[in-house]
Amino acid sequence: MISSLQKKEDGINLSDNEISMIMSTNTIVSVVGYCLAAVVNDKVGRKYNFIIFSIPNTINWIILYFADKMSTFLISRILGGIALGALMMLYVAATSEYSSPKTRGLFMHMITTVAPAFGTGLGHILGIILHWRTVALIGIIITSFGLIAPYFWVESPHWLATQGRFDESQKAFRKLNVMNPESENELRVLIKMENSKLDKAIETNSKSTFKRFLLALKRKYFWDLLLVTIVMFMYLTAAGKIIFSLLAIVLLKEITGSSDVLLFTLSVDSCMIIGSVLSCILIRRTSMRFLLFSTGFTSNTVLFLLSLCLYLKNDTAYSQWLNVSLLALYFTLLNAGPYPIFEALSGEIFPIDLKLYFLLVTYFIAICLLFLSIILLPYMTNLVGYHGYFLINAMIMTVCLVFLWWKLPETKGKTLQEIEVYFKVKDFDVDKAFDNEQIKTLI
């Protein structure tokens, strides 16, 4: 679409500044979606939140299909941005709540990494081989399905429990899970913990989720979680998937002497898809910590080697293909470990009743870090070159991983309640924590 607008096809005459505004509006407005999802969730829950924010998502594609001037493009991108922000938060929050501790990691990987990787690849293919209005028509069909499907879901049992609707929570939990001693215990702990938190909320006159969030700001565990998530997003920003993807396409153009954008884009997308699929296989066989730090430190090493190769400036075909191979390996490792695991962790580590408010704060920080990295990119590459830029990023990523090695527990196989209790009192044993009145107060 952007290429078509730049060429002024279909009689649409927009300036470069207007096209730039169309490109950036979606991401900027997503912050509004974060805020609205957090507020609306208190009233309607996860299920109807999906339906509500799928409406602007569908309308976005309808308006885009008929767009022929700046105002309609802008309205489309604003609606799309609001839906993007809200649905992104809901996918992370709901996936962790609708799955069991044993399958949560796999489903989180599929929803947050594999599906977006395939979707991005498909979007690139369709955007190149079809007219953008045809792609918008396909978008209408796909998002319409997303609008209808949630009607057939059960509500999140975890959300129902946070609202004090314990009978409904138990029914929903039993529909979603194969009941055995482990799942019965998970349900018992869920009801016990949320009931205790509601009693405390009534006692402190803080039944409103927002009031409870304000109280959480005064607690040490909030700032511990915030620090962990800031470091996670610092790593993801330094990893620079978007920026490095563009560089890979430039390198492929230089090596082949061809301008086949479709081929180059598919090459980059393929590495991301391979890494995403690998992540689903590996997470079933290894722990979260092992997968994160093995692929994380290995990808950092690959980035150090790439920085060295670019610094040596060998223009032979062999050297250039080596650079591309290192980038391909880097993309694969990044999507096999750090990217999906950090997305999964963002759905696991926050308290259930305050999850969307926590995600609102952390996603806002993530967007700020992303914009900062984009602003600094031309200055850094002019100052230290691409080799220096990669070296600095690899060093930042290494420091982040060392910090997370120290702070992050193993969450695979743990219930959301056990993870929440761990970050509050540094112990996974929920019953033990509730037996101690002093510790129970902290929870």
Per DSSP, the residues of 14-25 read: --HHHHHHHHHH
The pLDDT of residue 289:
92
Q: Distance between CA 284 and CA 273 in Å, rounded?
A: 18
Which is nearest to 288 in space by CA: 226, 338, 241?
Answer: 338
Q: Which of the four pLDDT bands, split at 50, 70 and 90, describes residue 60?
A: very high
Q: Which of the four pLDDT bands, split at 50, 70 and 90, describes residue 263?
A: low
Calculate mean pLDDT across residues 250-278.
70
Residues contacting residue 367 through CB under 8 Å, at least 6 positions apart: 27, 30, 31
- In tens, the pLDDT along 407-438 reads 999 998 888 888 888 888 888 877 777 766 65
Calculate mean pLDDT across residues 186-212.
83
More confident residue, 441 or 141: 141
How far apart, in Å, do the first and last CA atoms of the chain sit?
50
Q: Distance between CA 237 and CA 322 in Å, rounded?
A: 24
Is residue 85 within 8 Å of residue 366, measured between CB atoms?
Answer: no
3-state secondary structure (DSSP) of residue 413: coil
* Structure-block tokens of residue 82: 């609001």
The helices-and-strands tally (H runs, E runs) of the chain is 20, 0
Longest Cα–Cα distance in the chain: 72
Calculate mean pLDDT across residues 138-149.
89
Question: Percent of the chain beyond pLDDT 70?
Answer: 90
Question: At the topology level of CATH, where does 1-153 sit?
Answer: Growth Hormone; Chain: A; (1.20.1250)
* Structure-block tokens of residue 251: 């390198």
Is residue 283 within 8 Å of residue 106, measured between CB atoms?
Answer: yes
The pLDDT of residue 82:
92
CATH 1.20.120.10 fits 217-412, yes or no: no
The pLDDT of residue 396:
95
Q: Distance between CA 3 and CA 90 in Å, rounded?
A: 32
Helix intervals (H) in 257-354: 261-285, 288-312, 317-336, 338-348
The pLDDT of residue 347:
86
The pLDDT of residue 441:
59
Calculate mean pLDDT across residues 283-310.
91
Q: Is residue 299 pLDDT above 90, yes or no?
A: yes
Q: Is residue 442 pLDDT above 60, yes or no?
A: no
* Structure-block tokens of residue 277: 């699929």
**3-state helix/strand/coil string of 238-256:** HHCHHHHHHHHHHHHHHHH
More confident residue, 146 or 59: 59
Q: Distance between CA 370 and CA 138 in Å, rounded?
A: 29
pTM value is 0.85
Average pLDDT, the chain: 84
Q: C-alpha distances in angstroms, 263 versus 152, 211, 216?
A: 40, 52, 50
Q: Which of the four pLDDT bands, split at 50, 70 and 90, describes residue 147?
A: confident
Burial class (CB in 10 A: 0-12, 13-18, 19+), 72: middle
3-state secondary structure (DSSP) of residue 12: coil
Domain residue limits, the chain: 1-153, 157-207+417-442, 217-412
Q: Distance between CA 279 and CA 268 in Å, rounded?
A: 17
Q: What is the DSSP string of 121-145?
A: HHHHHHHHHS-HHHHHHHHHHHHHH
The pLDDT of residue 43:
82
Is residue 367 within 8 Å of residue 81, measured between CB atoms?
Answer: no
Is residue 343 within 8 Å of residue 112, measured between CB atoms?
Answer: yes
Which is nearest to 188 in space by CA: 205, 172, 176, 170?
Answer: 170
Is residue 121 within 8 Å of residue 273, measured between CB atoms?
Answer: yes
The pLDDT of residue 304:
94
Neighbours of 118 (CB within 10 A): 15
Q: Which of the four pLDDT bands, split at 50, 70 and 90, describes residue 258?
A: low
Is residue 101 within 8 Å of residue 413, measured between CB atoms?
Answer: yes
Amino acid identity of 64? L
Q: Is residue 278 pLDDT above 70, yes or no?
A: yes
Q: Distance between CA 358 and CA 266 in Å, rounded?
A: 35
Domains 1-153 and 217-412 share a fold: yes
Q: What is the DSSP string of 209-242?
A: HHHHHHHHTTSHHHHHHHHHHHHHHHHHHHHTHH
- In tens, the pLDDT along 325-378 reads 888 888 889 889 898 898 888 888 988 888 888 888 888 888 888 888 878 877
The pLDDT of residue 435:
67
The pLDDT of residue 403:
96
Question: Percent of the chain beyond pLDDT 90?
Answer: 23
Q: Which of the four pLDDT bands, split at 50, 70 and 90, describes residue 262?
A: low
